[in-house]
Amino acid sequence: MQNFSIGLSGLNAASSALEVIGNNIANASTAGYHRQRVELTPTTYGRMAQNAVGAGVDIAGVTRLIDKLLEAEIMQQGSSYEQISQELSILTAVETTFGEFAEGSGLNATIDAFFDSLRGLAAHPLERVWRNDVVSCAEVMCSEFRRMGASLSNLEDQVVLEAKNTGESINSLIKQIAELNGKIQVIEISQGQANNLRDHRDQLIVELAKLASVETTDREHGIVDVSMGGLPIVTGAITVEIQVGLRDDGSLGVSAGNSNGYGITVQGGRLGGLMSLKNELLQGIATDLDHLAQEIVASVNQIHVQGLGVSGSFTELSGGTLDATSLVGKDARVKDGTFYIRVTNTATGEINRYEIDVNASGASPDTSQTIAAKINAIPGLNASILSSRLHIVADLGYKFDFVPAVMSEPTAVAFTGSSPPTVTLSGIYKGDQNDTFTFTVVGTGTVGNGNLRLDVTDGNGDLVSTVNIGGGYAAGDVIELFNGIQISISTGNLNAGDFFQTLGLASSDTSGFLAAAGMNTFFSGDSAGKMQLVDSIAGTPDRIATAYGADLTDNIAALRLAAVRDQGLDGLTGMTPSEYYHRIVANIGQQVDLRESRQSNVEAMIQNLENRRSEISDVNINDEAAQLMIFEKMFQAVAKYLTTLQSIMNTLMGMV
Amino acid sequence: MSGSLTSIYSSISYALSLHGKSILQLQEQAASGNRVNRGSDSPSDAYRILGLNSQERSLQSYQENVKELIGNLEISSTIIGDMSTELASSLTLLTQIVGGVHDDAGQKRIADKLNNSLEQLVSLANTKHASQYLFGGNDTSIAPYVVQREGGKIVSVTYQGSYASRYVDVAPGLQIESYHVGDEVFRANYRQTPLFLGSSGVTAGTGTSTVQGDVWMTVEHDGTNYRISIDDGATFVTVPAEGSTNLAVTDSRTGRVLYVDTTGITGTGTELVRVPGTYNVFSTLISLRDLLQNERGLNTQELLNYVDECVAAVEEVRHLLVQKEVSTGSKIGFLSTLSKNLEDMEFDTKDETTRLQEADISQIAIDLSRREVLYQMSLSVAGKLMSMSLLDFIS
């Protein structure tokens, strides 16, 4: 009766094959489905006389047509693609935030407009309309900085939130993967085939890989272990959940299994993209923008604190908040140095200049309180710290300022003649460094007569100029030295060796304290998001410092403020503010362009890989239809064979 | 390639996505007219374009300053020219006086004319343009010249403006004076040895005097010594008996000093002392007006001699104005050339920006057409592939 067994085995084989084909066709559009094939083998052959004959067909198994290496490659590229896409999405949003190249928008135009307004003010320092223009351009620029700072900050917050949500999605997926691992194991331990479950699980792993780059390890009985960044997150049916959070330094990290620290960094996938955005890309852009804002604020303030507007000297001045314990803590630009305060007695017109030393570092550094005490010791001034702010008030009948103008009287005089002349000094010192100049008389006689002259030496004792005040000089005439200091000597007698001195101030604040304390500053804020025009300037444009000279008619401060536009600043690696900003924009553009290219390349690569995979694993309807026909015919043939056997048996039975 | 439905769909959607993105980009370029609409379109060009945009704005700002400066200088030049013309007509009248054309009454009328000219010149020197005084140096908010009057008549004109110039940015690294310092325009500054026009025998001392313009020196003898005054007798300096080669005589009203050599003193009287190289426009006319009004009671010949000498003073200040007009004209010429250069630079900058940023419309049209064809072909192929299968042929 071997014949019937052979027939039955054929019917079974054909029937199973048709089932598998039906399953394939039903899942032709199922994502992640790998087509299956029945594996048929001839049954162990028997012997008939001397001849070996087969005993039918056996179903060896149903296999998935899958190329594991190809699948792994597709998964890895998919992970890269998701990371690039995530980064590209956010960077494109950043590029849109910057808004350059759109008509009439962008920080570039506002920076240029601000410095152009300063250039216009320098040409018209005494006119109100130009001061108002500076105020409005400054406010627009600050507003733009704040908007961009806030946008970047919001994007960073969104990235953190998105990263946390992605972490939750990862946890959900790994639970499902672990569950499927368990089910597959149960089936395959019992010699079963869990191809559909494997497909489902593998699809979940692909989804997981899009969220973060993972590594898989195949184990017995169909189990696949999954690890992420070296951390096992699925081991058989067991999972280790992850948490996404911020580290102490503000960067994004991952922790696993409720451990502290978020010390793990993830690569690849959306989470990898979000982490690189938060920890590097967005951080870098925000830092660059903050640097730009800080340098503009510092450079403008350093010039502005020393100048005066048309409103003149101050009777009262309040600054920004100061760190009570350390000057450097508030602003690292504060260093050892000196600042000078001029105090004017408005009744008598007498002007005195006082020097305040600032010890920013060293064994006993100054604090805001000690500086206030030093200022308070100046006759005519009262200084105190109120609500962490330096507050200076002039006594009635006094005013003060920080202008570096040359004092009208020498700082030291030693004349021995019987009727010495009066020396009047003026002008604005043009040197680079503060220096004391000594004017020593050579010769003896009356001003305007003989061979009388002045030898001018600097603080190092080097001769820098000689000035004729003898024959040929009309007493009282103004002589301008090469460094901007002007002197006028009235009629009188001088002896050889007589001298007078004056201080040439390139900067009336070499310590940076005034700017750090917010005294007569133009801007406030230490980042793009906090950059602001100080209220006193916004409310009183006459306070905009245009002059460095005593009579407030010059435009030196305004010229220097306008010149910041074209200055290479140390804090911006030698670039001008505009160049630095252009570099930021170009860098963002480069980042976006790079990722667009990489995205296209990876997308093309994935397309190629998927085409190759589809040749192996996808359901081809034409192929399945052909297989259908083959097994249909096989079934019909085997059925015919059995019918023939039946007829033979009936004939044999009829013969008995 | 596999004929599976999934792979067909995947390939088609990839192709459509590819062509779709390109079409969108081309559409954006066509709509905006720009090839670079964001930094990522071409980072290096974007960096360059931003720099050029900033440069263009900077050049426009310089241009505004230059144009305003040219306007100020043109008006200043006109004013200086008008003042020079006024002085020229005064010079003509003075020459006529010296030639004896006018009698005393005529001279008095000319004195009145000089007074009118003086008023006119002060007004011109205090000209405002666009709310700023042109001849006040740095200080453009107050009138640079203030007059002192006695009996309605100007007795002195004092410069109260700034002695410092205001510099403005007109080009990268270039600053130009924008407003004249009136004292430098209307007063000479090349002091020479004083000239003593009388017969007292007093001459210039060895020291450098500080008096300016015309000074009236009075020499008297008190019976013992000569004494000299330059402030109309308010104060006198006694001449040592042996004489002095460098005696300082001070004007108590101004503090200015005249150094005299009295070793050759021979007589007394009041005489005019001229200090060439120190005249200013206003004090010159005041001196001439007062001279012609002859309040000192000079005789006709003395008067004519002094007027003859003072013609040189008028010529000196007129020469000053002519020089200033020429130098202002030269500066205007330079600034006009600079303005033209800035315009050219601005044009070149705009041109380069356009070349970098603007889209080639004809190329866009070609690319758009090509992409549209590819897009349609992708759809067509997809339709054909997905519409055929073996199942259609199995009965």
Contacts of B166 in chain A (CB under 8 A): 123, 125, 554-555
Count Cβ atoms below 10 Å from residue A480 Cβ, excluding itself.
13
Contact B50 A100 (CB under 8 A): yes
Tokens of B213: 């313009």
Residues 121-160, chain A, touching B (beta carbon < 8 A)? 122-127
Contact B140 A126 (CB under 8 A): yes
Chain A nearest CA to B83, separation (Å)? 26
User: Residue A609 CA to chain centroid, in angstroms?
Assistant: 36
| A24 to chain B: closest CA residue | B4
pLDDT of residue B395: 62
Query: Which one of A474, A553, A585 has the shortest CB-CB distance to B208?
Result: A474
pLDDT of residue A183: 95
Name the 3-class secondary structure at B18.
helix
pLDDT of residue B298: 83
Q: Closest Cα to residue A277, out of A396, A418, A159, A142?
A: A159
**Rounded distance between C-alpha atoms, residue B196 and residue B262, angstroms:** 12
Residue by residue, DSSP assigns A50-78 as TEEE---EEEEEEEE---HHHHHHHHHHH
For the four alpha carbons of B283, B289, B295 and B301, in that order, the dihedral sign comes to positive
| pLDDT tens profile B322-368 | 999 999 999 999 999 999 999 999 999 999 999 999 888 898 999 98
Pure H helices in B99-144: 104-125
DSSP state letter for A417: S
Tokens of A149: 């700072």
Q: Closest Cα to residue A289, out of A97, A87, A101?
A: A97
Print burial letters for A45-57: b (CB count within 10 Å at least 16), e (below 16): eeeeeeeeeeebb
**Using an 8 Å Cβ cutoff, are A436 and A501 in contact?**
yes
Count Cβ atoms below 10 Å from residue A34 Cβ, excluding itself.
24
Residues 6+ apart with CB under 8 A from A75: A205, A206, A209, A214
pLDDT class of B2 with cuts at 50, 70, 90:
low
Query: Which one of B3, B10, B51 has the shortest CB-CB distance to A622?
Result: B3
Contact A112 B248 (CB under 8 A): no
Contacts of B139 in chain A (CB under 8 A): 126, 551, 553
Radius of gyration of chain A (CA): 44
Q: Closest Cα to residue B379, out of B25, B23, B13, B26?
A: B13
Contacts of A419 in chain B (CB under 8 A): none
Residue B332 sits at the vertex; the CA angle it makes with B329 and B334, to the nearest 5 degrees, is 110
Chain A nearest CA to B158, separation (Å)? 16
A89, A101, A129, A451: best to mutate for the B interface, most B CBs within 10 A: A101
| pLDDT tens profile A170-226 | 999 999 999 999 999 999 998 888 888 999 999 999 999 999 999 999 999 899 999
Identify the residue whose tokens are 């000209």: B127
Contact B46 A553 (CB under 8 A): no
pLDDT of residue B4: 74
Query: Which one of B10, B43, B175 has the shortest CB-CB distance to A590?
Result: B43
Chain B nearest CA to A103, separation (Å)? 10
Contacts of B137 in chain A (CB under 8 A): 553
B61, B183, B206: best to mutate for the A interface, most A CBs within 10 A: B61
Query: Which one of A113, A553, A583 has the shortest CB-CB distance to B162?
Result: A553
**Rounded distance between C-alpha atoms, residue A435 and residue A424, angstroms:** 18
Chain B nearest CA to A565, separation (Å)? 10
What is the ipTM, given to two decimal places?
A: 0.88
Contact B389 A448 (CB under 8 A): no
Strands A499-504 and A435-442: what pairing?
A: antiparallel
pLDDT class of B99 with cuts at 50, 70, 90:
confident
Long-range contacts of range A176-181, CB-CB < 8 Å, 24 or more positions apart? Answer: A176/A204, A177/A201, A177/A204, A177/A205, A177/A208, A177/A224, A177/A226, A177/A234, A177/A239, A178/A234, A178/A236, A178/A237, A178/A238, A178/A239, A179/A237, A180/A204, A181/A222, A181/A223, A181/A224, A181/A234, A181/A236, A181/A237
Element (H, E) at A242: strand A242-246
Q: Closest Cα to residue A121, out of A328, A371, A303?
A: A303
Question: How is the beta sheet containing A478-480 ordered, strand by strand?
Answer: A423-427, A485-489, A478-480
Question: Quick one: CA torsion of A646, A647, A649, A655, rounded to 10 degrees?
Answer: 160
Residue A93 identity = A
Query: Which one of A119, A611, A623 has the shortest CB-CB distance to B1?
Result: A611
Residue A419, chain B, CB below 8 Å: the answer is: no
A124, A608, A617: best to mutate for the B interface, most B CBs within 10 A: A124
**Using an 8 Å Cβ cutoff, are B59 and B342 in contact?**
yes
Bridge partners, residue A478, by sequence: A488
Chain A nearest CA to B28, separation (Å)? 12
Pure H helices in A190-319: 195-211, 269-276, 282-304
Chain A nearest CA to B136, separation (Å)? 10
Low-confidence spans in chain A with pLDDT less than 50: none
Tokens of B82: 């008008």
Residue A453, chain B, CB below 8 Å: the answer is: no
Contact A559 B167 (CB under 8 A): yes
**Rounded distance between C-alpha atoms, residue A26 and residue B108, angstroms:** 126
Chain A nearest CA to B296, separation (Å)? 29
Contact B164 A554 (CB under 8 A): yes
Residue A28, chain B, CB below 8 Å: the answer is: yes
Residue A632, chain B, CB below 8 Å: the answer is: no
**Rounded distance between C-alpha atoms, residue A358 and residue A512, angstroms:** 9
| A475 to chain B: closest CA residue | B210
Residue B221 identity = H
Residue A484 sits at the vertex; the CA angle it makes with A481 and A485, to the nearest 5 degrees, is 70
